[in-house]
Structure formats: C-alpha cells, structure tokens
Amino acid sequence: MKHQTIRNFLKEKFGGEVLKIPVNAGFSCPNKENGAFGCIFCDNRSFSPVAIKTESVVEQFCEKRNRMKHKFQYFMPYLQPNTNTYASIEKLQEIYEPLILQDGVVGLVIGTRPDAISADCENYLSSINSKTYLSLELGLQSANNKTLKLINRGHTAECFAEKVENLAKENIEIVVHIMLGLPEETEEDMLNTAKFLSQIPVKGVKIHQLMVIKDTPLEKWYNDGKLSVFSLEKYAETLAKFLQNLREDIVLHRIAADCSFENGLVAPLWSADKDRALNYIQGYLKNI
C-alpha cells in the first residue's frame, strides 16, 4: 500500500502521536430538516460514540484528554456528529475558539457537508486555518450523481468539487468520506469515484463499507431483499482496486468502519469485529 496513513502523517508533522477526540456540539443537518430523514444509511448514534453527549464541547474534550494525556502529547478536537458548519459565524466562533485554546491542542477537525459552507463560513475557516492546523471532513460517499440522488445525499458531485476547489484556495485541508458498496453501484462506479477524487485537491480520504443500521430506510431495502452487502473478502478486494485508482499523495484516514449490534448494526456482521476486519484487510493490502 503506497498511501500514507493519517497516524504517520500527523506523527511526522507534529513530532509525536496525536489523538483525535470526538465531541458533539449539538449541530443539526440541512438534510434532516422539515421532517426529512436525511441520507438513507444515516444514524449518528450508530456511527459516532459522542452523538448522545450533552456536555459542553470543552467539557467533553477535557474529560477525554485528561484520561489520555499520559499516552499522548498532542490532541485534536473532532467535531463529528451531524453538520458542524451549519450555524451562524457567531455560533461557530463560540464552539471552535475555546477548543483550539485548550492545552495540548495542535489542530481542529470539523465534519460537515459541501452544501453547508457559505462564503462567509469559508472566510472564517480560513481565519481558523491561520491560527491552527485545520482539517475539514466533507461527506461525499460517491461521485455518481445517480447514486447521490438514490441515497438522498442532497447535493451533487459537482457541488462537492466546486467547494473543494474554493477551500483549497484558502489552503484548507480537505478529507473526503467515501462509502463502498452503495445500492446499485457497480465496481466501475466505485473506481470512478477514486479517479474523481484524484482530479481535485483533496488531501485525505476516509473509506468504509456500506453498513445497514436498524430503523433506517436502508434497513427496509435490506429486509426486502433489494440490497446486498459486501463480504469481508469482497470488500478488501474492492478497496484494493479503489486505492490503486487513487492519487498516491492522498492520505488514508480510514480503510473500514465498525459498529456494534447494540448500536444498531444489522449487516454486514463482520463490521462488529473491528480487529479481525482490519487485520484481514491490512493483510490483503500488503500481499497485492
């Protein structure tokens, strides 16, 4: 595997191990308003361990930092659940500014959507980027507009690319979220997503398998036999091909995701055994 991992990238950049600490700022999502469900696969309670947290972001961050500071010298708050630019600039300042001032913090990670970043927000993010290391995580999932419509993403691949280009002009690091195994996608579709990312200035990628989560629209599709999921073996094979089509300087932040049955996992079952899955995938990638 030729791509650098995020762990090694951050270690080289800061001279030591860096721990990202997820926090929940209580943001909403424009794709879930007016009674809409949002993306057909989404349930933040399943994907983010902090989605139910109600303490202030500083309290959440400090609690985890204080428990881990004997192991790590550097930390990054990670605004993870929902859309963390979907608010006024004043609100963003209230959330972001105290976090970057905490002891040991060397950067800030913000999870959001390409259609939830206004021009004013771009300017504000640029100012944050001048103060600390900023990593902006943008959801895309697929570069196929037919797929994006099917999964109810609420934006197009062109919207995503335009936003990446604008943010890159401000030297803001962009990490993109990609999902392999989406409904009706062929292998060619997935490899085309890798090629699409290779043509725009993204710096990192988080890749994971499609997971079916309880009480999502996707679960009904799965139960009705309209959807199949990857076996671990097929996922590793597809991931390897995806990486072979991905620009080599793009840093790997994730190569698979996990979820527990307690948090709603329905399928694939191997997603509940993180160590086994990663060991198999990493072994497969080393041997190709």
Could you tell me what percent of the chain has a pLDDT over 90?
A: 77
Per-residue model confidence as pLDDT tens digits over 165-180: 999 999 999 999 999 9
Say if residue 153's pLDDT is above 90.
Answer: no
The confidence band for 53, taking pLDDT boundaries of 50, 70 and 90, is confident
Which is higher by pLDDT, 134 or 51?
A: 134
- Residue 235 located in a structural domain: yes
CATH number at residue 181: 3.20.20.70
Looking at the predicted structure, is the pLDDT value of residue 215 above 90? no
What pLDDT score does 19 carry? 96
- Bridge partners (DSSP) of residue 208 are 179
C-beta neighbour count of 97 within 10 angstroms:
12
Region 125-148: what's the mean pLDDT?
A: 95
- Domain-embedded: residue 36: yes
More confident residue, 63 or 50: 63
Confidence band, pLDDT 50/70/90 cuts, at residue 48: low
Q: According to the model, what pLDDT value does residue 29 have?
A: 67
pLDDT digits (tens, 9 = 90+) for 93-117: 999 999 999 999 999 999 999 989 9
Q: Does residue 221 fall inside a structural domain?
A: yes
Distance (Å, rounded) from C-alpha 168 to C-alpha 175? 11
CA distance 225 to 214: 15
Q: Look at 20-29, 30-39, 104-113, 242-251 and tell me which has the smallest mean pLDDT.
A: 30-39
The mean pLDDT of 70-91, rounded to a whole number, is 92
Helices (H), 73-118: 89-100
Q: Which amino acid is at 83?
A: T
| Cα radius of gyration (the chain) | 18
pLDDT score of 166: 94
Q: Is residue 250 part of a domain?
A: yes
| 1 domain residue, yes or no | no
CA separation for the pair 176, 160 (Å, rounded)? 10
What is residue 106's three-state secondary structure?
coil
In a domain, 76, yes or no: yes
How far is residue 211 from each of residues 27, 103, 184, 222, 259, measured CA to CA in Å?
23, 36, 15, 10, 8
Which DSSP state fits 259? Answer: -
Find the length of the chain.
Answer: 288
Whether 196 is covered by a domain: the verdict is yes
* pLDDT number for residue 192: 98
* Within-domain flag for 154: yes
Q: Which domain holds residue 216?
A: 6-286
**pLDDT for residue 217:** 86
Domain count, the chain: 1
